[in-house]
Amino acid sequence: MNGVSGGIALVLCLSWLVWTAGLWWKHRSPRVANDRLQLPVLVAYASQTGSARALAVQQQQALGGPEHASLMALSELVPKQLAQVKKAVFVVSTYGDGEPPDNGRRFYHDLRALSQSSSKELFSSLDYEVVALGDRSYPKFCQFGDDLYQQLASLGAKAIAPLTKLDQSQSAQSLNQPEQIWRLTYRERLNTQADAGLFHLRLNTQQGMPKWRAGDLVAIHPNNDSSAAPRRYSIASASVDGEISLIVRQHITERGELGLCSGWLTQQVALDSGINLQIIENSSCHIDDRAAPLLLIGAGSGLAGIRGHLAERAQHTKAGPAWLIYGERAPDAGQSLHTELALWQQRGVLNTLDCAFSRDTDKPAYVQDIVREQATKIADFIGTGGHVYVCGRYEGMGTAVDAILREVLGAQTYQQLMEQGRYHRDLY
């Protein structure tokens, strides 16, 4: 009997060791996997929505393809590895208030930590170029590209071309799927008339249904005017649904007028009218490990990206637990979608749902308040393999949630979440 018990204990112990080793290998730091760069030319990118990555692929092809130039995200690279190549081309976008994209934050932090005296020899033989993507409507246009360009120069690397700045809203046409004509088949206002309108739109196409992933975006030119800068919206449906859903918040200008694109989509374009729409791959918000725990956080129109992930997750019977923390201004907003969330709860697609309403007369709250209140549970839920997806406005909700997550998880766990690609932010 003791021998049998000992054998069972040994098997269980070995199984546990194999399981934990698998977790370590799966979520190991990407730095370990890329100790030595094999080619003399490197194309490195930092991309939040996929545009910089797509342009980086083009740059790699222009340099002779994968046989002649390596392609890596900055999250897979450490600064000292640059001493192993003769030429590096950096293709980087700018995020938020002039910041690096999430998959470039750790690399840039490490680069800035290098002293000029110790790095002169390290980078003395490195030639580099920087191609920066940004949005001209923001005051810090291409700020991260500019900062990276200057930082590399200060560390002794040699710039072989001036900094190239591109408006990614204008370059999106050539970097993603072609535009198609989609028909607006459904439009519903989700909140009361007292607030800026929140609308659910459905669109279909007869030009062949393309494929997309949860986390991807669409680009739409206001009034189908190709000369106007496109607006981007998170897709709120799964590819298997056979239609694209959007959740659009009306933008109100300082003059009290509706925004050019949101006003057109929610009020002016008639049902069954054609809308020129382009799907934008947003690989940084793709989640491949559907068995892992998933914490979803969003507010307002940020429900779009969340709905896309839940709809995709609903297609998989062995999906892991999902927890949604969602905020709106008033409890009445999005009642039809709340009914859908309740049905997903009944089916086990969504395990936990917490809502915060900023104008609730009894208990006003924001999503970041719930994140702080549930700090211990969130840390346990994410564990060593869980993913976090945040969708909504960058200012306010996005920055507050990021700061609290950093505090809740601790600096080391937060950094691992970033480096292992388990922290996905679709903020605007």
Chain segment 359-371, per-residue pLDDT in tens: 888 889 999 999 9
Pairwise CA distance, residues 271 & 262, whole Å: 15
Q: Which CATH architecture has domain 177-280?
A: Beta Barrel (2.40)
Taking alpha carbons only, the member of 315, 312, 355 closest to residue 335 is: 355
- Tell me, what's the pLDDT at 12? 41
| 418 in Cβ contact with 31 (< 8 Å) | no
Q: How do residues 43-86 score in pLDDT, each as one tens digit? A: 999 998 888 998 999 999 999 999 999 999 999 999 999 999 99
Superfamily of domain 30-172: Flavodoxin domain (3.40.50.360)
**Does the model's pTM come out above 0.85?**
no
| 152 in Cβ contact with 255 (< 8 Å) | no
Q: How do residues 165-185 score in pLDDT, each as one tens digit? A: 998 765 545 556 789 999 999
Range(s) of the chain covered by CATH 3.40.50.360:
30-172
| % of the chain residues with pLDDT over 70 | 87
- Whether the per-residue pLDDT at 13 is higher than 70: the answer is no
Range(s) of the chain covered by CATH 3.40.50.80:
287-427
Gap between the terminal Cα atoms of the chain = 63
How is residue 89 annotated by DSSP?
E
Range(s) of the chain covered by CATH 2.40.30.10:
177-280
- Tell me the pLDDT of the chain averaged across its residues: 87
Note the helical H segments in 214-273: 260-263
- Whether the per-residue pLDDT at 318 is higher than 50: the answer is yes
Taking alpha carbons only, the member of 26, 15, 76 closest to residue 387 is: 26
> Is 287-427 a CATH 3.40.50.80 domain?
yes
